A = this chain, B = another copy of it.
């Protein structure tokens, strides 16, 4: 009962739908690219063409921004970029630990784009003695046993779970015990957690099947 109430509130507070958030971050990627190429203006049609969506959809999304940067010759790239950042709350930094320093954990730790979007990876954790003490992209790999203690000391919002499938649930239990309330789950396991912990399943297979359903 409590959980559905929270869920209800959660959606009521949300002004922007998931699909729009997703598209706005893609517009942000395009704007970033334009800035790197020293291009000052962009049209909704150019964005629409790159993403193979309707021009009217792009204009509708842009209308949700406080300041779209609209001017006579299109939109001012830098202003629209800044406005997307403000609207989606990139500025509010969230701290995260990566749990599992395998290939996927390493790849995410190296993904410099995260910090542009307000995700600060503080450290990685693993139980492999050969990995502990090493570092990747200036982030240290720590012993998983230190997790509860470090969570108490640091202001950690999110655990990014990238351990092998067979350790997913037991590691999630350990994360919950360490008082982290948000888990970004990259394992193909549906985790059993208490109601006050939120899990976001990065469902790669679901995404793949959405893509390939029509092939």
How far in angstroms is the closest Cβ of chain B from A14? 7
Which residues of chain A from 176 to 215 have a CB within 8 Å of any chain B CB?
Answer: 182, 184, 188-192, 195, 198-215
Complexed CA–CA distance, A13 and B113 (Å) = 36
Selecting from A16-24, A122-130, A145-153, the interface stretch reads: A16-24
Encoded as 1 (CB less than 8 Å from any B CB) or 0, chain A from 142 to 160 comes to 0000000000000001100
Q: Does A54 belong to the interface (CB within 8 Å)?
A: yes
Give the Cβ gap from A88 to chain B, nearest Cβ, in Å.
5
B residues less than 8 Å from A29 (CB atoms): 188-190
Please indicate the chain B residues that have their CB under 8 angstroms from the CB of A200 in the complex: 207, 210-211
A206→B33 contact, CB < 8 A: no
Chain A: residues with CB nearer than 8 A to chain B? Answer: 3-4, 7, 10, 13-14, 16, 18, 21-26, 28-30, 33, 50-52, 54, 88-90, 92, 94, 102-104, 106-107, 110-111, 113-114, 117-119, 157-158, 165, 182, 184, 188-192, 195, 198-215
Known: A13-B214, A30-B190, A184-B208. 12 other contacts (CB 8 A): A26-B190, A26-B201, A94-B212, A103-B106, A104-B107, A107-B107, A113-B205, A119-B208, A157-B212, A158-B212, A200-B207, A200-B210
Closest 10 CB pairs of A and B: A103-B107, A104-B107, A22-B206, A200-B211, A25-B206, A103-B106, A18-B210, A113-B188, A103-B103, A117-B205
Q: Can you pick out 21 interface pairs between chain A and chain B where the beta carbons lie within 8 Å of each other?
A: A7-B52, A13-B214, A14-B213, A14-B214, A21-B209, A21-B213, A29-B189, A88-B209, A88-B213, A89-B213, A90-B209, A94-B215, A103-B103, A107-B107, A113-B165, A158-B212, A158-B215, A182-B215, A200-B210, A202-B204, A202-B207
